[in-house]
């Protein structure tokens, strides 16, 4: 039930801090150790490469899951769009582990890859919000997102839950492999939950930004570098799905290789600047698009922010920024859709779970 909320999407955006706290609780035992099926731990230890398979928003979470697993657990990861996988099946490593990320657990494109990789005899782990779902039943192992039912077609809380669970999995694997880490995922996630709350309390400001930048535009670009780029991809998917604004996410460095030709007077450009190592370069990209007339908005993080940034998120661990920086993007999309009289929870042409290939 929506309760007092006008839309499920808004309710689900607001639920994110609670979901993160629930995940902390569910994946921790009484000794404050990570609680995880020992078979999953073993499968992670045994594999020499991970293949993440997913679609849409879950694919975007996979791109960030790769960062966690490679940086923390030191296992190479490939991330594949499910519907493309069979056409371009990569050469597989000797001991692959397939990780299927799916909110619904029913996505046909992902299932068809699962059937194929099972036939080849490769182990499969499904990360899903619905433990009894097809992808969960047919895989060897399941990790539960604990996000509660996600009703709005546009995925919000499942995305942040997927990243949280993948971060925990990465750290568990690192510990199982005796890798020394200066990163306590539960502590970092608790900081994320508090930061999320500070953002869902700033709806008015985000509504103003949505109306200032997006109430009449036909298109909008998201730019970022490194992990900000992946969050930009998710921000652009949210916006196009529910507001029907043509929105695209680009890597800041790619602008000059073509995309910048699209910038006209007044084109909205949303730039994410939450990473210290690319702060200077992404701000340079913003100057380049502004010089061509763009109406740019910078979303930065405390400690890296500058005067004139449109929105500043609280400081969290570098790797955790996507869980937080996506919140203003979700809310801006929500208000843009609302102002443009779109059906927020049930956008045209889309289904909540895509059970056909
Ligand atoms: C985006 C969205 C879709 C789904 C995609 C995968 O808001 O809802 O892009 O993320 O269809 O769905 P699942 O995660 O259920 O496999």
CA distances from 171 to 185, 299, 339 (A): 7, 28, 42
Angle at 352 between CA 349 and CA 357, to 5 degrees: 75
Q: Which of 57, 110, 355 to mutate to test the pocket of ligand 1 (most atoms within 8 A of CB)?
A: 57
What pLDDT shows up at residue 357? Answer: 86
* Ligand 1 center from residue 56 Cα (angstroms): 5
Contact criterion met (CB below 8 Å) for 301 and 273: yes
Q: Where are the alpha helices (DSSP H) in the chain?
A: 8-14, 16-26, 38-46, 56-68, 82-85, 108-119, 134-138, 157-176, 185-200, 203-214, 227-243, 279-291, 321-339
Instruction: Give the distance (Å) from ligand 1 centre to CA of residue 305.
Output: 32
The predicted pLDDT at position 232 comes to 98
Ligand 1 centre distance from Cα of residue 107 (Å): 8
| Ligand 1 centroid, distance to 55 Cα (angstroms) | 6
pTM of the model: 0.97
Nearest residue (by CA) to ligand 1, atom 4, is: 56
Task: From the candidates 118, 205, 346, 352, give the one annotated as an active-site residue.
Answer: 352
Residue 354's pLDDT is 84
Has 352 been annotated as catalytic?
A: yes
The closest-lying atom of ligand 1 relative to the alpha carbon of residue 110 is: 16
What local confidence, expressed as pLDDT, does residue 133 receive?
98
| pLDDT value for 1 | 83
Q: How far is CA 119 from the centre of its chain?
A: 30
In this structure, the number of other CB atoms found within 10 A of the CB of residue 262 comes to 17
- What's the CA-to-centroid distance between 287 and ligand 1, angstroms? 34
Report which protein residue has its CA nearest ligand 1's atom 3.
56
pLDDT reported for residue 351: 82
Among 8, 13, 52, 58, say which to mutate for ligand 1: greatest number of ligand atoms within 8 Å of CB. Answer: 58
Query: Ligand 1 pocket: which of 105, 107, 334 to mutate (most atoms <8 Å of CB)?
Result: 107
Closest by Cα among 96, 52, 91, 48 to 73: 48
Give this complex's ipTM.
0.99
Output the residue whose Cα is nearest ligand 1's atom 16: 102
What is the 204 CA–ligand 1 centroid distance (Å)?
Answer: 28
67 Cα: distance to centroid of ligand 1 (angstroms): 20
Q: Which residue's CA lies nearest to atom 9 of ligand 1?
A: 56
Closest ligand 1 atom number to CA of residue 107: 16
The tens place of each residue's pLDDT in the chain, 357 residues long, gives 889 999 999 999 999 999 999 999 999 999 999 999 999 999 999 999 999 999 999 999 999 999 999 999 999 999 999 999 989 899 999 999 999 999 999 999 999 999 999 999 999 999 999 999 999 999 999 999 999 999 999 999 999 999 999 999 999 999 999 999 999 999 999 999 999 999 999 999 999 999 999 999 999 999 999 999 999 999 999 999 999 999 999 999 999 998 899 999 999 999 999 999 999 999 999 999 999 999 999 999 999 999 999 999 999 999 999 999 999 999 999 999 999 999 888 888 888 888 888
Residue-by-residue DSSP string for 11-47: HHHHTHHHHHHHHHHHTB-TTSPBP--HHHHHHHHH-
By most ligand atoms within 8 Å of CB, the mutation choice from 8, 135, 155, 357 for ligand 1 is 155
Q: Which three-class secondary structure state does DSSP give residue 80?
A: strand
Ligand 1 atom with the shortest distance to the CA of 55: 6
Instruction: Give the C-alpha separation, 223 to 231, whole Å.
Output: 9
**Ligand 1, CB within 6 Å, residue ranges:** 55-58, 102-104, 107, 110, 153-155, 237, 241, 353-354
């Amino acid at each position: 039930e929506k309760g007092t909320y006008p839309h499920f999407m808004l309710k689900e955006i607001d639920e994110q801090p609670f979901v993160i706290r629930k995940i902390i609780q569910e994946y921790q035992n009484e000794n404050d150790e990570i609680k995880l099926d020992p078979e999953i731990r073993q499968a992670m230890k045994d594999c020499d490469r991970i293949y993440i398979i997913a679609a849409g928003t879950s694919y975007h979470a996979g791109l960030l899951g790769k960062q966690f697993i490679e940086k923390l657990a030191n296992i190479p990861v490939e991330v594949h769009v499910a519907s493309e996988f069979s056409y371009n099946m990569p050469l597989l490593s000797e001991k692959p582990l397939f990780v299927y990320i799916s909110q619904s657990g029913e996505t046909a494109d992902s299932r068809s890859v699962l059937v194929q990789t099972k036939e080849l005899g490769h182990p499969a782990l499904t990360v899903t919000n619905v433990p009894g779902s097809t992808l969960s039943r047919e895989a060897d192992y399941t990790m539960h997102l604990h996000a509660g039912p996600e009703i709005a077609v546009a995925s919000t809380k499942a995305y942040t839950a997927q990243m949280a669970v993948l971060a925990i999995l990465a750290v568990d694997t690192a510990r199982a492999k005796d890798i020394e880490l200066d990163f306590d995922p539960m502590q970092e996630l608790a900081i994320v939950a508090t930061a999320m709350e500070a953002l869902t309390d700033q709806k008015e400001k985000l509504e103003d930004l949505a109306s200032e930048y997006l109430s009449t535009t036909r298109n909008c670009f998201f730019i970022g570098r490194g992990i900000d780029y992946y969050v930009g991809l998710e921000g652009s998917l949210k916006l196009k799905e529910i507001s029907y604004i043509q929105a695209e996410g680009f890597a800041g460095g790619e602008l000059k290789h073509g995309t910048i030709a699209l910038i006209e007077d007044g084109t909205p450009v949303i730039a994410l600047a939450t990473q210290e190592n690319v702060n200077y370069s992404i701000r340079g990209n913003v100057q380049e698009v502004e010089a061509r007339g763009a109406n740019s908005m910078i979303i930065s993080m405390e400690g890296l922010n500058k005067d004139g940034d449109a929105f500043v998120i609280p400081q969290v661990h570098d790797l955790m920024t996507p869980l937080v920086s996506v919140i203003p993007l979700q809310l801006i999309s929500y208000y843009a859709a609302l102002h443009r009289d779109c059906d927020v929870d049930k956008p045209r042409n889309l289904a909540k779970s895509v059970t056909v290939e």
